[in-house]
Amino acid sequence: MPDASNPSPSRRELLRMIGLSAGGAAMYQAMIQLGFAAESSYTGPIKLEGRPRAGTSVLILGAGLAGMTAAWELRKAGYKVKILEYNDRAGGRNWSLYGGDTYTELGGATQHCRFDKGLYLNPGPWRIPYHHHAVLDTCKMLGVKLEPFIQVNYNAFLHNSQAFGGKPQRLRTIKADAQGHIAELLSKAIQQNALEAAVTGEDREKLLEGLRSWGALGKDHRYVKGTASSNRRGFEKDPGGGLSARPIPSQPLTLQDMLSADAWSGLVAGENYEMQTTMFQPVGGMGMIGKTFGKALGEVIRYRSKITEIRQDASGVTVSYEDLAAPGSTLTERADWCLCTLPLSILSQLPINVGPKMEAAISAVPYNASVKVGLQFKRRFWEQDERIYGGISYTDTPIRSIAYPATDYFSDGKGVLLGAYAGGQGAVELTSMTPEQRIEAALEYGSRIHPQYRAEFDNGIAVAWHRVPFTQGCAGRWTEDTRAEHYDNLCQIDGRIALAGEHASYIPAWMEGAITSAHDAIGRLHQHVLAGARP
């Protein structure tokens, strides 16, 4: 039994403590052990066994990854399938902008991408975790070639405008100093028997030795200037050869500096389960997945079709839509069943006759704000001047982060940085601006990290997701309460209508959520059909 005078922490409190002391990676492993987390539910390609009655039709709304996955599998199972897609391309948020592309956002601002050949911006998804098996299998099936994506680069920067005189610090420096000071504090606590109830006997010495190694502490268990700490944070003068070979150790930041700078906040991104290495990206841009998938489905997809109404009755579903090539036109398509993958931010604005529970669920999920800015520069100065090859720098300014391309290393040509990937309040501020103002903001804030920005800038393009016509938001934002009240109702088959997409998953904003939600929805829909189900 637990000691009443020293009660055991709750599982939630234990996870919080682990996360604060050891980072997101350790916390996630603890979550697995406690049954709070799991990998993607995907275990392999879905198999829809049994054949539907000849001619059974499914109309799919949206040619994003959820819609195309559903169409691919349903067609193989013997269904008559058609997709209506708003854009003139497949992929939805799986999208890349290349030189020569034109993009018009809500409000009418039109941008012409002027990147050099082979360079691009991924406005939506831009990385694939190693454990997103459904996405990886889809790429393999389609023949989309992948290459490594660099999430964590210890030579990238952490920037806090209120700390260190606004001077950016190398990520490795902050990480090493954070671990070093934490290890020193814990070592002192153990040596003073402050943790006697938790650490006793032989474990005490094992833990002290472990902390010395983890924190790069000296023999006296202090984190100080020297070879051990410099091997983590970098040297003031690197070791070399000959008479000038002797390295000069660097001076760690003080614990007070670290605390006042709130410097640790940028360390956790690469620790989160979804962003732990290894990660991948398609060669030539994330949009290669949607482009290749759309080509494979061919005439199944009808492009430039804007949905205006969804109506179901006892025998089927009728969808009204406008042909964007003929503004003001009204066309209809009818099928036995409908799988709707439209973002809820769009679907909630359309007439659709579903039950009150699904109707409430559709309206219950707001969408995150997000802004990305692609900046083309005359040369790859981040490599040539600062030896940064891939990875991400983080900042407390509204642009939030700068990502470096993981392709064409050492090229003498131009390069495109993700000059801003903003969420939250920063994204709201940037969304309110014109595209030109967003680019200017990215240059202004980015110059605080890379002074070369102004001299090397060539051109740019900016995408604010609340101004993207086909989504009007980045991704569904669930809370614990809205999931408890609405998630199951959203995912149920309502009469002859089912929903799928990243919003109908526990992996929102990720392509894996879109694909696995489609598998789940069509699996249940297929069983309805085989059982002769009626609304």
Q: Cβ(312)–Cβ(535) under 8 Å? A: yes
The structure tokens listed for 380 are 């790859």
**What b/e readout covers 110-133, taking b as 16+ CB neighbours within 10 angstroms?**
ebebebeeebbbbbbbbbbbebbb
Distance CA 12, CA 353 (A): 41
Residue 143: strand, helix, or coil: coil
Domain at 171-261: CATH architecture = Up-down Bundle (1.20)
Q: How far apart are CA 131 and CA 41, in angstroms?
A: 10
Q: What is the DSSP letter of 485?
A: I
| Residues near 528 by beta carbon (within 8 Å), at least 6 away in sequence | 493
In the DSSP assignment, the letter for residue 476 is B
Asked whether the predicted pLDDT for residue 37 surpasses 70, the reply is no
Three-class DSSP category at 426:
helix
Pure H helices in 23-119: 24-33, 65-76
Residue 340 is inside which H or E element, if any? strand 337-340
pLDDT score recorded for residue 12? 45
pLDDT band at residue 14 using 50, 70 and 90 as cut-offs: very low
Over residues 436-479, the pLDDT tens digits come to: 999 999 999 999 999 999 999 999 999 999 999 999 999 999 99
Whether omega for the bond prior to residue 278 falls within 30 degrees of 0, making it cis, is yes
Query: Between residues 182 and 267, which one has the greater pLDDT?
Result: 182
With 0-12 CB in 10 A as exposed, 13-18 as middle and 19+ as buried, what is 331? middle
The three-point CA angle 312-510-480 to 5° equals 75
pLDDT at site 32: 35
Per-residue pLDDT reduced to its tens digit, 305-327: 999 999 999 999 999 999 999 99
Cβ burial of 472 (10 Å; 0-12, 13-18, 19+) is middle
Q: Where do the structural domains in the chain lie, given as residue ranges?
A: 1-38, 57-91+288-364+477-530, 97-155+278-285+368-467, 171-261
Specify the pLDDT at position 162: 86
Domain 97-155+278-285+368-467 falls under CATH 3.40.30.10? no
Closest CA to 58 of 274, 333, 280, 243: 333
So what's the pLDDT on residue 440?
Answer: 98
Start-to-end CA span in the chain (Å)? 53
Instruction: Let me know: does 139 contact 292? Beta carbons within 8 Å.
Output: no
Check residue 38 and give its pLDDT: 44
Query: Helix crossing, 65-76 with 133-142: angle to 10°?
Result: 60
Q: Of the candidates 162, 26, 66, 47, which has an alpha carbon nearest to the alpha carbon of residue 513?
A: 66
Token pair listed for 235: 């040297």
Cα dihedral 160, 163, 165, 169 sign: negative
**Mean pLDDT of all residues in 500-510:** 97
- Fold that domain 57-91+288-364+477-530 belongs to in CATH: FAD/NAD(P)-binding domain (3.50.50)
Average pLDDT of the chain is 91
Residue with tokens 């050949």: 117
Q: What is the mean pLDDT of the segment spanning 409-420? A: 97
Q: What is the pLDDT of residue 256?
A: 83
Q: What is the pLDDT of residue 447?
A: 98
For residues 350 and 309, the answer to whether their CB atoms sit within 8 Å is yes
Residue 200's pLDDT is: 74
pLDDT tens, position by position, 203-253? 888 999 999 999 999 989 999 999 999 999 999 999 999 989 999 999 999
Residue type, 85: E
Question: Over the stretch 326-350, which tens digit does the pLDDT of each residue have?
Answer: 999 999 999 999 999 999 999 999 9
DSSP-assigned states of every residue in 168-233: -EEHHHHHHHHHHHHHHHHHHHHHTTTTTTTS-THHHHHHHHHHHHHHT--TTS---SSHHHHHHH
- The long-range contacts involving 12-15, CB below 8 angstroms and separated by at least 24 positions, are none
Q: Which two tokens stand for residue 291?
A: 């482009």
Q: Looking at residues 479-507, what average pLDDT do you find? A: 97
Structure tokens that stand for 368 in this block:
């995150």
Question: Residue 197 in contact with residue 291, Cβ under 8 Å?
Answer: no
Q: Please state the separation of Cα 190 from the chain's center in Å.
A: 39
